[in-house]
Chains A and B, each alone.
Chain A
Amino acid sequence: MIEALQVEEGTREGREVFEGFGTVPIVVFYLLGLAAILVFAYGFWRRIRKYRQGRRITRLSLRRLRAALADISSQRTVAKRDRYVGVAHFLVFWGFVVLLVATTIIAIDEDIIGFALDKPEWQFWHGAFYVGYALVVDLFGLGFIVGLVMLGVRRRRRPFALDYDRVDREPGTYDREGYSLDDRVFLLLLLFLGVSGFLLEGFRIAASDFPSFERVAFSGWLVGAAFSGLGESGNDVARIVTWWVHGGAALAFVAYIPYSKAMHIVTDVADLLFTDQGSARNLPAVEDAAAPGYRTLASFTWKELLDFDACTKCGRCHEVCPARASGAPLSPRDFILDLREHADGRSGMRMWYGAGAEPRHTEATGVAGDVIASDTLWACTTCMACMEACPVGIEHVPTIVQLRRTLVDTGDIEPGLQSAFQSLTRGGNSFGKSAKQRARWTKGLDFAVKDARSESVEYLWFVGDHAAFDPRAIEVSRTVARLFTAAGVDFGILFDGERNSGNDVRRSGEEGLFEMLRDHNREVLDAAEYSRIITTDPHSLNTLRFEYDLDAPILHYTKLLGELVADGSLHLLPLDGKATYHDPCYLGRYVEEYEAPRRLIAATGLELVEMGRCRDNSFCCGAGGGRIWMDDSGLQERPAENRIREAAALGSDIGYFVVACPKDMVMYTDAVKTTGYEGRIEVVDVAQLIERALESERVPVG
């Protein structure tokens, strides 16, 4: 290596870009380059013009900038849960960046300093810099090819995520050949650029008789060595031919970018820079109360239009979506692609492969119920798995809710949802019960619960609908009340002053009803004296924390129970057995609390066995976003049943399916029955486990 780096007498490390070219070929090349740049610039301008038609929102923050730089440089969002793709894309990404920088360096050295400024003495692309340059470019170029081959091999194996079949239409009624064609062209074009680059380097090294400093470009050197049989002149001819092929392909690629999947190089960087996962936690406000939601393309924000273009069809959202998995007519991927096709169709943006705009899209002006079918919009559980899985920061959930707002406003509404809304308007709960019955569950307790409206309390317990009205969830509420009392917690509830927090209502698109519920609750909360709010319901937790603008801290009960166990207020004796734990979407992905329930399970002495889909990859029970009120009889397999089967597959010794959400209690006790696992798996709330561990203390064994 040291020998290779030694400078040979009488030579200087470097090379001529246009070695052996006359004036005419050089002029021809630059004219072709200009043409490619113009084609690129036009497409790029069309895209920018499209985004500029989007509604204005502000999305730049310094914190986001730092996170985006880390995401992009580490490629961690791509590598998440798929190491193979992560490594391959990392190699391709950095290979591309380095090759792009390398080309830019030559352009600066040759075209700007050498030609435009005419200062040959300032040129730097030679000597030690050249040697280092050659080494780095060779290394990353090789990685680029390896990564592309890995991705190509994966694509040949047809993984489910890359299957473009639609869940909402019959095969043959749509055409996605253009997508597949573009995938192949994109990959092969990059591969062709990489391979022809190495061939060019090899021919050049061989044609210039293997100058020893070029040995650092080991791959090119080896290619050259392989073709040394052609002789110097033969290699020079090969070099000239390959130069044009490689250069031509590179220019074609530049022109191709804005009209193809290659545009993701630009749109994904931008989307990661501007993304805000908080948009699902605190949904965007209604812009125009007279026409809520999105009626036409003009309603979408520029970030949403960018989202549509950012999609690379990687299929991760398609894979994780509980609606898609249960046979509902929703795939987050197709949702985004349909909107992209619509936006392109309306703005006259065409991909090179033609398609992208189905006729109905160019004619349609309505979006909700037209471009995107109502069934599709109602299928979403707002579990946020799509947003979490998306490597490029697309925000599906808020867009779905915006479109639901239009459906609600125009009365195009699922019947179950309609009756829930009517009950909520009347009694503030979805159970069709009188508001006065809200605290009736406390009658099953042998102590009185404080009324937080008239007495000052440390913890104000916001109970939520299911925990107050569903018989199975009521059992858990009573358990929690007993545990709080046993530990001496000063707590109270709002009795019939409480209304549904509005989490599911807001996500169902009924913003007016949400505001009504929120305003009522805020008024009652403002009149009460308390230092912290506690709730067993993750949905209320999210909405109280992110959508109510309250000053007090809002905690999930697992956090407080954890403190009570840790400080000895609740003394536990170990239970025996194995349990698995289901992360509720609104506790996990939304509020990002993964540890508190697990610590409690550990404190009971049970052995926790994780399901494959856990923590931020948890699989929704199917109840969120208003789905709990809608008809799910048309589904092939309810998400909750799918989940119970996953738990059962962990082994027959898993006795407990532990939940920490009242809706989960309801959904999974049903699912255990319908899947035939009743008696084998017990659905139990984490608070019930704690109480049993307490009881075991009272009845000493032996």
Chain B
Amino acid sequence: MDTVVLLRAVPDPVEELELDDTGTDLDRDFLGFVLNEFDDHALEEALLLKEDAGGTVTVVALGTADEVDQMLHTAVAKGADAAVKLGDDLGALDAHAQAELFSAALADRSPDLVLCGVQASDELDGQVAMLVAAKLELPHVSVVVATAPAAEGLTVTKEYWAGITADFDVSLPAVLGIQAARQAPRYVAVSRIRQAQEAGLLEEADAEPAGPSSGVRVVGLRIPDVGDGAEMLPADEEEAADRIVELLRAAGVGGPS
């Protein structure tokens, strides 16, 4: 089974995020970027599947940040067989533009399986995986928390609300949006990343964004207001309920006591 994992760089939340002069984007000049956590899980699930059923894993990332090379080397060090960087200096891209570039690159690769993080910290509506599936006209399951090789295709576990899960038989090829891998993403030693870097497996492919295609335009971004802190409710249920009622009343909710 040949799997492609789609990787995205997202702003590193440990850095102090600031808005640029237009007020519609982060000030990207001083941002650090890290691999989207959900994509890291997608990679882990792909590596686990490879250990289960053999095949290859190819990682494909958009060249939106300087750190992308390092992310791809890290993926190779973890066990990916090939790494592709699409474009360079692409800047910020919305979900539709990302999906466009990814599916264009996937079209002539015809993988058996495409894994992608179900969402990203800068794309919480979780559209990329399903847009890719739609463009490639492949079956799609999102919010996946486990995969297992089956007689035909895969058995895929999807998570619903309230801890409910359902298993799907998925015929391949297919696109999955990964919520979490079966186990925490593995650690790879720095010396291994260095070796992967020296091995020079990284393939660079041209990619030109066709411009915003979602029809959605960012009007403005705002740094959230900082509150005065939180109040911890007492552990005792009765006391906690009393306190909640008290707070609601103070806020003008409900009738007089």
Contact = CB atoms under 8 A, between A and B. Distances in A.
B186 to A, nearest CB: 5
Contacts of B12: 426, 434
Interface string A507-524: 000111101100000000
Contacts of A421: 187
B186 A512 contact: no
A426 B194 contact: no
A418 B15 CA distance: 20
Nearest to B192: A409
A289 B15 contact: no
Nearest to B188: A411
B200 to A, nearest CB: 16
Query: Which size class do B's interface residues fall under?
Result: 10 to 19
A427 interface: yes
Contacts of B15: 434, 436
Contacts of A515: 190
A425 B14 CA distance: 13
Given A290-B195, A426-B32, A516 B190 contact: yes
Nearest to B193: A512
Given A434-B15, A434-B16, A292 B189 contact: yes
Contacts of A436: 15-16
Contacts of B34: 426
A321 B190 CA distance: 30
A411 B195 CA distance: 15
Nearest to A432: B14
B234 to A, nearest CB: 21
Contact of A409 (B16, B32, B189): B189
Given A415-B184, A426-B34, A512 B16 contact: no
Nearest to A433: B14
A413 interface: yes
B14 A427 contact: yes
Contacts of A512: 189-194
Given A432-B14, A433-B14, A434-B15, A289 B191 contact: yes
Nearest to A414: B187
A614 interface: no
A408 to B, nearest CB: 5
Contacts of A286: 191
A426 B193 contact: no
A425 to B, nearest CB: 7
A426 B12 CA distance: 9
Contacts of A415: 184
Contacts of A434: 12, 14-16, 32
A422 B40 CA distance: 13
Contact of B189 (A408, A423, A432, A433): A408
Contacts of B14: 423, 426-427, 432-434
A408 B187 contact: yes
A418 B187 contact: yes
B14 to A, nearest CB: 5
Interface in A145-162: none
Contacts of B191: 286, 289, 292, 409, 511-512
B187 A413 contact: yes
B73 to A, nearest CB: 12
Interface string B191-217: 111110000000000000000000000
Contacts of B194: 289, 512
Contacts of B184: 415, 418
Contacts of A411: 186-189
Nearest to B194: A512
A513 B194 CA distance: 10
B128 to A, nearest CB: 24
Given A292-B189, A426-B32, A513-B189, 20 more contacts: A289-B191, A289-B194, A290-B195, A292-B191, A408-B189, A409-B189, A409-B191, A409-B192, A411-B189, A413-B187, A423-B14, A426-B12, A426-B34, A432-B14, A434-B12, A434-B32, A510-B189, A512-B193, A513-B190, A515-B190
Interface of B: 12, 14-16, 32, 34, 184, 186-195
30 contacts: A289-B191, A289-B195, A292-B189, A408-B187, A409-B191, A411-B186, A411-B188, A411-B189, A413-B187, A415-B184, A418-B187, A426-B12, A426-B14, A426-B32, A427-B14, A433-B14, A434-B12, A434-B14, A434-B16, A434-B32, A436-B15, A436-B16, A511-B189, A512-B189, A512-B190, A512-B194, A513-B189, A513-B190, A515-B190, A516-B190
Q: Which 6 A/B pairs are nearest by Cβ-Cβ distance?
A: A512-B190, A512-B191, A513-B190, A418-B187, A411-B186, A434-B14
